[in-house]
A and B are shown apart, each in its own frame.
Chain A
Amino acid sequence: MSSLLKKIPSQARLNQAKELSAAVFGHTWNPACKRNGSKILRQELKGPQISKYYGVNEELPTFKDFKKWFPELKLVDPREEYRLKMVQDRKKRNKGAPKKKSE
């Protein structure tokens, strides 16, 4: 039994082998589990995805573009019309935006 145990290599030797294999296969070798911040290096950049949340302006034309392309059709955006109407209504009730300051 004792002869069998002797044949098992020491821990230091095993670690050497592991280090070598890590170098060969391009793995990281960090036996002490030191905090080396590699987690941050490994992360993917999420900025491009995040900045697209509200949609990309260049992807689709807006109502204004259609107005510009087809002026002969005299298109009217119902939502814009409604907004302007509401602004007028608010002004009538003296609830509109304050006047600009004049110096």
Chain B
Amino acid sequence: MFVVRRQLRVSGGRSIASFSTGSIIHKKQDSVKFTSPQEHIEEQKLNKVAEQQYQQTLLQEDFEYNPKYVSESKVNPITGRPIPINVELLKYKPITLKPTHGNEVATIKFRGYEEDSLIRAGEFALRSAFYLGIPTSNLTSLKTEKRLYTVIKSPFAQAKTKQNFHRVTFNKTITAFDANPEVIDLWLSYINKHSIEGVKYEAKMITNESLDFSKELQSLDEIELSSTYNELNDPIGNKVKELLQSDNFKQFLKESK
């Protein structure tokens, strides 16, 4: 069977501003104006109403809650109830499911200046993957980047005395295997919802499409590409055409023929 491998890159969470140095990638987005306090309050009110509605819809469906316990006799002294096994497991390293087919579906990269917060974010992702039934690799470290900044200590002259500063950036990654794109979407959005400050999350999803994927896309009438794609049809090329068709250039083009 022929399969086209398509890669999607998503980055989320709270990114660190100074990471964005030197990247040329940009999307023309409409700049979002900051909200005034009054607008913010109104926004919060609307959000609260929506959240309440969502909670009510959740409560209308009845669901079973029968947690597993380590042992019924072992009781939490504060609540007086036995400790559920998933709470108990927080004391240990996260369990991962073994991949059944080894088909790589998604990778998440964590990036940040503090290793502890990276581990926290990574283990959260691993635990949620375990409960969603996604087979994953362990949290593996990638190369640590160290950047040294040497500056002259004095604000003026005395250039021989310098001071060294450094910034250490840690990188970690998780690979997910053999899961439906829907489950992966759910997993990633859950991680994004509970993202930690100071960690940059970057997810890469790999989906398989049949060879007539482009035809399928065309047959869909409902799909509407976002305005960012408008910029993609080569502004410079269009300008070149426009220039060459202008009177100034036409004259020279005719002469040469």
Is there an interface contact between A69 and B36, defined as CB atoms closer than 8 Å? yes
CA distance A43 to B236 in the complex (A): 9
B24 touches A44 (CB 8 A): yes
Report the separation of the CA atoms of residues A16 and B196 in the bound assembly, to the nearest whole angstrom: 57
Known: A46-B24, A69-B37. A41 touches B234 (CB 8 A): yes
Are the C-beta atoms of B32 and A40 separated by less than 8 Å?
Answer: no
Which of A41, A58, A60, A65 has a CB less than 8 Å from the CB of B237?
A: A41
- What DSSP secondary structure best describes chain B's contact surface? loop
Which residues of the other chain, B, contact A59 by a CB distance below 8 angstroms?
31-32, 34
B150: shortest Cβ distance to chain A, in Å?
24
> Given A40-B236, A41-B236, are A48 and B34 neighbors across the interface (CB < 8 Å)?
no
Report the minimal beta-carbon distance from A71 to chain B, rounded to whole angstroms.
13
Q: List 13 A-B contacts (CB under 8 A).
A: A41-B234, A41-B236, A41-B240, A44-B25, A44-B26, A45-B26, A49-B24, A58-B33, A58-B34, A59-B31, A60-B34, A69-B36, A69-B37
**B160 in the interface (beta carbon within 8 A):** no
Contact A48-B31, Cβ < 8 Å, known A41-B236, A69-B37: no
* Chain A interface residue number, banded: 10 to 19
Q: Mark B233-255, 1 if CB is under 8 A from A, else 0.
A: 01111001000000000000000
* Given known A40-B236, A45-B235, A69-B36, contact A56–B31 (CB-CB < 8 A): yes
Q: For the complex, give the distance between the alpha carbons of A59 and B234 in Å.
A: 28
Q: Which of B1-44 contact A (CB under 8 A)?
A: 23-26, 28, 31-34, 36-37
Is B28 a contact partner of A48 (Cβ separation < 8 A)? Answer: yes
- Residues of A at the B interface (CB closer than 8 Å) are 40-41, 43-46, 48-49, 56, 58-61, 65, 69
- Which chain A residues lie closer than 8 Å to B237 at the CB level? 41
B234 in contact with A49 (CB, 8 Å): no
The chain A residue sitting closest to B30, CB to CB, is A58
Q: Are the C-beta atoms of A48 and B26 separated by less than 8 Å?
A: yes
Q: How far, in angstroms, from A59 to B17 measured CA to CA in the complex? A: 13
Complex: chain A residue closest to B231, CB-CB: A45
Chain B min CB distance to A70 (Å)? 8
Task: Note all chain B residues with C-beta closer than 8 A to A45.
Answer: 26, 235-236
Closest 8 CB pairs of A and B: A58-B33, A48-B26, A58-B31, A61-B34, A49-B26, A44-B24, A69-B37, A41-B236
* Distance to closest chain A CB from B221 (angstroms): 27
Using an 8 Å CB-CB cutoff, how does the interface string of B186-201 with A read, 1 for contact, 0 for none? 0000000000000000
**CA A96 – CA B100 in complex, angstroms?**
79
- CB-defined contacts of B34 to chain A, threshold 8 Å: 58-61
B185-221 at interface with A (beta carbon < 8 Å): none
When distances are taken between beta carbons in the complex, the residues of chain A under 8 Å from B234 are 41
